[in-house]
Amino acid sequence: MKAVYERGAGSPFASRSEALSTRGMVATSQVFATQAGLDILRSGGNAVDAAIAANAVLGLTEPTGCGIGGDLFAMVWEPDKDTPAGLNASGRAPRSLNMEVFRKAGLDYIPARGPLPVSTPGAVDGWFELHARFGRMDFAELLGPAIALAREGFPVAQLTADAWAMNVRVLAEYPGFADSFMPGGAAPAKGQVFRNPRLAATYELLAKDGREAFYRGEIAWKIAAYMRENGGYLDESDLASHASEWVKPVATSYRGNDVYALPPNTQGIATLQILNLLEQHDLASAGFGSVEHLHLLTEAKKLAFEDRARFYADPSFAPAPVDELISKEYALERGRLIDPEHAATTVRHGDPRLDSPQTVYLATGDNDGLLVSLIQSNYRGMGSGMTPADLGFVLQNRGELFNLDEDHPNALVPGKRPFHTIIPGLARFSSGERLAFGVMGGGMQPQGQAQIIANVVDFGMDLQAAGDAPRAYHSGSSQPTGHAAAADGGQLALEPGFEAEVRRQLAGMSHNLSYTPWVFGGYQAVKHDSKTGVLTGASDPRKDGQAAGL
């Protein structure tokens, strides 16, 4: 990793220095969450304890992107293990919800909001699975910071306030939503102190009665009763039968550096497929932000997303040929389809619903070298709008991502997990350093992860500059939801920072250029150097967060 871009020595990107520590590091999209994780590390907890505590606070302070009504995926890398562990804590479709429900309603798609897109929330079970296997502190202690903050209140951050207002415009009508999330009848403004005593009480119940309270006890009963009263299908049996799954992460090498992802039903292997295609080209010589760099990145993404649409689904119902998809041989075959002079236009038009940027990603590391890469989401912003009883959280709308074509691998089936956009990332560099990283934001996630790795490996950026550098985002490739095709090649959005002449040349190669400011995601990262014991953290200025060490 040659240091081509050093802060103060030619890098136009880094907004600040990397955070450094030998005792512990937490990087999240909210300052309160980062500080909660650090408090847990300071009290003797490890990186997993810190991740759970931080995620609980994020569910309070950034409900626009996550919460215990949603799902969770994580990878954990123990310092004495050669490969990481992976957790799929995603929920399944209600067992009483089937294709006939949509036929009778005259729907050929699953709506974004209301009771129909609700799938079983998996995040809480994910917390308890992570804690049981890796945690050090008592679980009740991990929820303490979030409970106190929920009761005392916190000032809402700028970007969160903006997203909150957007969500209120479409979710205010759903039963229970305004009671929990619209104090005074409106979204809280920037700097307004927000309290959520309902969520505090729910967290206290989890602290006292554990996982069973959510899936078989009082919380489960309230969720099921609310859904029955409001035309929903999620019931007690769906919650009681839910279980997370420990899965083996898969990996590819990128110029001698190992990059890990979780297999489907996530889109994680799209990152690996993009990197396999990019590896066939000399990006370092092309230079960051060059026409060649951005063209190859976009065309590699198009090819990977074609496979994403065709194969990625719940492997219990439709196993994908993962080994073949991430093989170098397959990448060489697919790479021949990239025209170095022109943008491909024969791609299926995508569903913009997959490009919602509202998710949270966090990374933690401790002084033993334990690394956690965790991502959690309600899917579309604050989720379905369905806000049960007095529990203080919204149920996710992840079921919207099912396909209603019965022959599609991602077709809706009772008890099946939908295709998932959220993906944690891990990497091991040839130098021996290990990295937990992620780029939240729907279809941006694999594109963003690939750009982070290329920024570090090919362009020599440090962790902070790699995230601060302008990003490219392509939309319009095929999607697992099976929407109508188009032949315009999609849209390529470029953040400010790329040269005007580069944009002009890309347009001349038939790239359809656009700019949408909120699609470029949010990045966090924590790296551990086992030789020195130093932990390095980075946090995206596009979010309200912080990377900080003990």
List, by residue number, the catalytic residues: 359
Neighbours of 158 (CB within 10 A): 11
| CA terminus-to-terminus distance, the chain | 26
Three-state SS for 453-464 is HHHHHCCCECHH
Six token digits for residue 550: 């003990």
Q: Are 278 and 450 in contact (CB under 8 A)?
A: yes
Please state, in angstroms and rounded to a whole number, the distance separating the CA atoms of residues 26 and 503. 36
Q: What is the dihedral of CA 503, 506, 508, 511, to 10 degrees?
A: -110
- Measured CA to CA, the distance from residue 464 to residue 468 in angstroms comes to 6
Eight-class DSSP state of 218 = H
Q: Are 66 and 377 in contact (CB under 8 A)?
A: yes
Q: How far apart are CA 458 and CA 456, in angstroms?
A: 6
Q: Are 172 and 184 in contact (CB under 8 A)?
A: no
> Rg of the Cα trace of the chain?
22
Q: Which of 95, 423, 453, 405 shows the shortest CA–CA distance to 297?
A: 453
27 torsion bin: left (phi>0), alpha (psi -120 to 50), beta (else): beta
Amino acid present at 153: G
Q: In what order do the strands lie in the sheet with 491-494?
A: 472-475, 491-494, 513-514
Decide: 261 and 86 in contact? Cβ < 8 Å.
no
Listed in sequence order, the DSSP H helices in 106-174 are 123-134, 139-152, 158-171
